[in-house]
């Protein structure tokens, strides 16, 4: 049985990686088409576009693993069914449960690779991609850090921790150096409202004037800040759940809670990351009854269509539930697990019917 199990695992992995490569290529082609619209904006050229595609590919890889597992397993198990291999395996003593167990074993390998890429490669690569894009388009020096965006404007260094839905900013720190490159002034504002024409209104200001003789601290309700920083410069580079690892998300959620700020979006992203390995297993499990319980002779195209329909249906369900969770402030773990557990229960029911 070990030989048959090893054969199924190897073929499922092969099919999943081929599907992953095709989906990744297709996704990058669409992204390349979108990025061409910004070609020539600032110094954003073809070289920067290819850098951007290469650096965002690990994030796309991580997100595509469940769909690739579904398509790969449908294709491979379908081919085995059409070639009478599954019948031969069952005649040799390998049960339906044994076949599913082999498929799940392949899933363990896929999940390990996915976690390694998603936690250790994708976050840093995604931050660099966004920095390259925005720096090339706007000609300003950016350093995208884990807990905010650092931007240099002349002798000022600006740190932005949050961007609000209306394009305004929150939790901003501005550090200004003097002619000798020593810290001269430090300003922290609770919020910045964009007025247009390079004008921002800072609110809730704490200011420190620093010199070699003394340091003066003061507070102000509001102040006008003239800056070339524009809302569209920051939209794609501010702290984003997609460019934080699971560990960094946990730290950032704690930071937001300690500072009495809303963390629901990041909590939902955290639990979405936690549940991602389960999604891969669910997708593999879903493929089993559609192959084992469906008659032989179904074309590869039909099986691919089944996979696309299932994958799109799950994504629509997951996205809908996620948006409802954000709108109604529902429990993040429940919202993250509910779609996967629902599909998991349906798959188990289908498998039991096949066994009967």
pLDDT digits 0-9 by tens, 125-168: 988 888 788 778 866 655 556 667 777 777 888 888 877 766 78
For residues 32-40, give the mean pLDDT: 92
Least confident segment among 10-14, 118-122, 324-328 = 324-328
Q: Is pLDDT of 43 > 80?
A: yes
For 35, list phi and psi in degrees, rounded to 5: -70, -25
Three-state DSSP state, 101: helix
The total domain count for the chain is 2
Which residue, of 238, 260, 288, is where some domain finishes?
238
For residues 306 and 70, give the distance between their C-alpha atoms in angstroms, rounded to a whole number.
10
Q: Please state, in angstroms and rounded to a whole number, the distance separating the CA atoms of residues 336 and 347.
A: 18
Do 241 and 266 touch, CB atoms closer than 8 A?
Answer: yes
Q: Which of 238, 261, 278 is the last residue of a domain?
A: 238
The distance between the two most distant Cα atoms of the chain, rounded to a whole number of Å, is 89
Instruction: Return the H-helix or E-strand segment holding 170.
Output: strand 169-177
Please indicate, yes or no, whether residues 229 and 296 belong to a single structural domain of this protein: no
Chain-centre distance of CA 260, in angstroms?
25
Query: Domain check: are 250 and 234 in the same one?
Result: no
Do residue 15 and residue 73 come from a single domain? yes
| Contacts with 45 (C-beta within 8 Å, 6 or more apart), sequence order | 39, 136
Same domain, 121 and 251: yes
Mean pLDDT of 58-62: 94
Picking from 217, 238, 259, the residue at the C-terminal end of a domain is 238
Q: Is the same domain home to 225 and 340?
A: no
Parallel, antiparallel or unpaired: strands 156-163 and 169-177: antiparallel
Tell whether 282 is covered by a domain: yes
Q: Are residues 53 and 183 in the same domain?
A: no
* Parent domain of 248: 2-126+244-355
Supply the pLDDT for residue 112.
96
C-alpha separations of 20 from 25, 63, 72, 270, 284 in Å: 8, 10, 8, 24, 14
């Amino acid at each position: 049985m070990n030989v048959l199990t090893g054969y199924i695992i190897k073929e499922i992995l092969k099919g999943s990686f081929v599907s992953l490569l095709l989906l990744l290529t297709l996704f990058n082609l669409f992204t390349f088409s979108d990025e061409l619209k910004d070609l020539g904006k600032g110094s954003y050229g073809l070289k920067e576009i290819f850098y951007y595609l290469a650096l965002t590919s690990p994030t796309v890889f991580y997100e595509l693993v469940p769909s690739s597992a579904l398509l790969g397993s449908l294709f491979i198990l379908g081919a085995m069914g059409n070639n009478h291999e599954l019948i031969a395996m069952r005649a040799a003593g390998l049960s339906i449960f044994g076949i599913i167990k082999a498929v799940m074993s392949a899933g363990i390998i896929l999940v390990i690779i996915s976690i390694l890429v998603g936690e250790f490669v994708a976050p840093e690569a995604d931050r660099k991609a966004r920095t390259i894009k925005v720096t090339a388009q706007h000609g300003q020096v950016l350093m995208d850090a884990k807990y905010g965006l650092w931007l240099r404007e002349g002798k000022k260094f600006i740190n932005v921790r949050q961007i609000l839905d209306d394009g305004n900013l929150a939790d901003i720190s501005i550090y200004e150096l003097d002619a000798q490159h020593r810290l001269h002034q430090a300003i922290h504002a609770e919020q910045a409202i964009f007025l247009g024409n390079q004008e921002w209104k800072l609110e809730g200001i704490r200011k420190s004037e620093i010199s070699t003789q003394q340091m003066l601290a003061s507070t102000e309700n509001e102040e006008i800040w003239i800056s070339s920083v524009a809302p569209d410069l920051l939209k794609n580079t501010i702290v984003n759940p997609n460019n934080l690892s699971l560990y960094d998300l946990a730290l950032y959620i704690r930071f937001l809670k300690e500072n009495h700020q809303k963390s629901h979006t990041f909590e939902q992203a955290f639990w979405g990351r936690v549940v991602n390995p389960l999604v891969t297993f669910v997708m593999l499990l879903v493929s089993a009854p559609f192959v084992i319980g469906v008659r032989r002779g179904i074309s590869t195209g039909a099986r691919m269509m089944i996979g696309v329909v299932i994958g799109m249906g799950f994504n629509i369900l997951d996205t809908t539930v996620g948006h409802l969770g954000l709108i109604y402030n529902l429990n993040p773990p429940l919202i993250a697990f509910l779609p996967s557990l629902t599909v998991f229960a349906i798959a188990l029911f289908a498998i039991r019917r096949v066994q009967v």
